Structure 1
Amino acid sequence: MIDFFNDYANLCFEKFGDRVKHWITFNNPWAHATAWHTYDRLWRSRQKGMVGISITSEWGEPVDITSQKDIEAAERYIQFNLGWFANPIFNGDYPQVMKDCIGRKSSLEGLSSSRLPAFTPLEKHFIKGTSDFFGLGHFTTRYITHKNYHYSKGPSYHTDRDLVELVDPQWPDPGSEWLYAVPWGFRRILNFIKSRYGNPRIYVTENGVSEKWQCTELCDKWRIQYMNNYVNEILKDPLINHMEMVTEIVVPTVCTLCILLSAILLMFLLRRQ
């Protein structure tokens, strides 16, 4: 399938690359790096475009922020969700917590090796760095608490994580059983990506909400509120951006004003003399 997809991607680059400058190989990924290398090798110098990937993930917040177990469970939630694909692409390997958890459960199940495949050194080198931007799909958030699942329950993505997902009954419910409006989770996952993956360029490729009311006419008030709240979270600058603003805008502006005031004061003094 990798070769088939690469042939298809290469054809798209060839036919549309003179006009299309931003490519997403997959929305929710299963194969990616080969197509990126094909573009990088054959088309980038001529077409000057960008190739990335879109990963959909919720944010996980610890139920008890004073509990180390809950904090670690929330980290596992994010790493098993977002990190599963982002970490190999940006850092070269599966998240360590995934390797530890699945390796431990695999050993308890009597397996001689982990159920999570291991990348060879060549594969790590081939995969790492194969994204020119971070495409993110994000909709909602979960509270996370630690829970041990016995290996006798059988191998499962969900039991490997040793956690439980919860929701706050106060969160607005738009009608879809999995989707709750939690705008602050959007900002936290953006900051997580910024800090964990080297501050990449981020494109939000998916975000939106269902409408629970049955209307004979268009009723989008809830959707407008959801989008407004989530976009406002994007617009809140992180501290580093405030520091950049101070360095690049405030300091030069203050210096310029000081120079102007000094010139005016000097002119005033000269005129008095």
Structure 2
Amino acid sequence: MTNYFSDYANLCFEAFGDRVKYWVTFSDPRTMAEKGYETGHHAPGLKLHGTGLYKAAHHIIKAHAQAWHSYNSTWRSRQQGLVGISLNCDWAEPVDTNNPKDIEAAERYLQFCLGWFANPIYAGDYPQVMKERIGRKSAEQGLDVSRLPVFSLQEKGYIKGTSDFLGLGHFTTRYITERNYPSRLGPSYQNDRDLVELVDPNWSDLGSQWLHSVPWGFRRLLKFAQTLYGDPPIYVMENGASQKLHCTQLCDKWRIKYLKGYINEMLKEPLLSHMQMVTEIVVPTVCTLCVLIAAVLLMFLLRSQN
């Protein structure tokens, strides 16, 4: 399948590359894998609990890397475009920020969501917590090998660095708390994560049952991705709110509020970077200059008195 996808990608590069300069190999592959091979809600409708989604994701990542290398070696020099991947993830906030288990569970949520695909592309392998959790539960379930596939050393080197930008989709936030699911319950993505997702009843609900307006989570997810993956160019690919009420006329003040809140949080991130620059560079420089000026003035004052 990775070879078929590479053929398809090269056909697209050849046909449209003179006009298209930004390419996204896969959009929201986590949903493709989970809903297609774990829950069966999307095509191909399989319910291979705790196995199918990891195999599907494994080949999606390899297919992405192969398409990137095809563009990089054949098309980039003449077309001057960029190739990336778009990953969707909610923000995970610990229920109790003073509880180490809740903090670890929130981190685990993000690694099983965003890190699942981003870590191989930016670091060369799956997140350590995924390898450890799935490996341990696989052994407890009587399996000789982990249900999470393994990249060979050659594949790790081939996949690492295959993204010119990180596409990010984000809609809402979840509170996360620790919950241990016994291995005897059988393999599943949910059981592997050992956590529970909760929502604050005070959050504004929107047109979809799963969607709540939590703007501050957007900034935290952006900061998380920026820090963890070496400050890559990040393009926001998906964000928005589904229709809350059926109406025949324009009635979307709630959508305007949602978008304004999320855009404002996104705009705060560059300001934080500038504030960091001010703190780390400008303030020490100004203080040093002030000390030097004060020393010069003191020298002139002593000479005038003499």
TM-score by length of 1: 0.89
- For the residue of structure 2 that corresponds to 1:239, the secondary structure is helix
1:87 aligns with 2:119: yes
Q: Which residue of 2 aligns with 1:261?
A: none
The counterpart of 2:267, out of the listed 229, 232, 235, is 235
The counterpart of 2:101, out of the listed 48, 64, 69, is 69
- 2:78 counterpart letter in structure 1: R
Q: Which residue of 1 aligns with 2:177?
A: 145
Q: Deviations over 1:213-236 (max 9, x none)?
A: 121212111111100000000111
- For the residue of structure 1 that corresponds to 2:275, the secondary structure is helix
Q: Deviations over 1:189-220 (max 9, x none)?
A: 00000100000000000000012212121211
- For the residue of structure 2 that corresponds to 1:145, the secondary structure is strand
- For the residue of structure 1 that corresponds to 2:237, the secondary structure is strand
- For the residue of structure 1 that corresponds to 2:11, the secondary structure is helix
Q: Which residue of 2 aligns with 1:212?
A: 244
Which range moved further: 215-224 or 68-77? Answer: 215-224
The counterpart of 2:257, out of the listed 214, 225, 234, is 225
Residues 244 and 17 from structure 1, CA distance in 2 versus in 1: closer, same or farther, beyond 3 angstroms?
farther
In 1, Cα distance between equivalents of 2:275 and 2:84: 27
Q: Which residue of 1 aligns with 2:28?
A: 28
In 2, Cα distance between equivalents of 1:95 and 1:24: 22
In 1, Cα distance between equivalents of 2:218 and 2:28: 18
In 1, Cα distance between equivalents of 2:232 and 2:268: 17
Residues 4 and 86 from structure 1, CA distance in 2 versus in 1: closer, same or farther, beyond 3 angstroms?
same
In 2, Cα distance between equivalents of 1:102 and 1:218: 48
- 1:21 counterpart letter in structure 2: K
In 2, Cα distance between equivalents of 1:17 and 1:173: 41
Q: How does 1:59-208 map to 2 (within 5 A)?
A: 59-208=91-240
Q: Percent identity?
A: 63
- 1:81 counterpart letter in structure 2: C
Displacement of 1:251 in angstroms is 10
Displacement of 1:175 in angstroms is 2.7
- 2:26 counterpart letter in structure 1: F
Displacement of 1:249 in angstroms is 9.1
Displacement of 1:241 in angstroms is 2.8
Q: Which residue of 1 aligns with 2:86?
A: 54
Matched residue count: 253
In 2, Cα distance between equivalents of 1:145 and 1:232: 28
- For the residue of structure 2 that corresponds to 1:112, the secondary structure is coil
Displacement of 1:2 in angstroms is 1.1
Displacement of 1:245 in angstroms is 6.1
Which range moved further: 167-176 or 215-224? Answer: 215-224
In 2, Cα distance between equivalents of 1:59 and 1:186: 7
- For the residue of structure 2 that corresponds to 1:43, the secondary structure is helix
- For the residue of structure 2 that corresponds to 1:115, the secondary structure is coil
Q: Which residue of 1 aligns with 2:2?
A: 2
The gaps in structure 1 that reach 5 residues or longer are: 253-273
Displacement of 1:121 in angstroms is 0.3
Alpha-carbon contact 2:207-2:241 (below 8 Å) kept: no
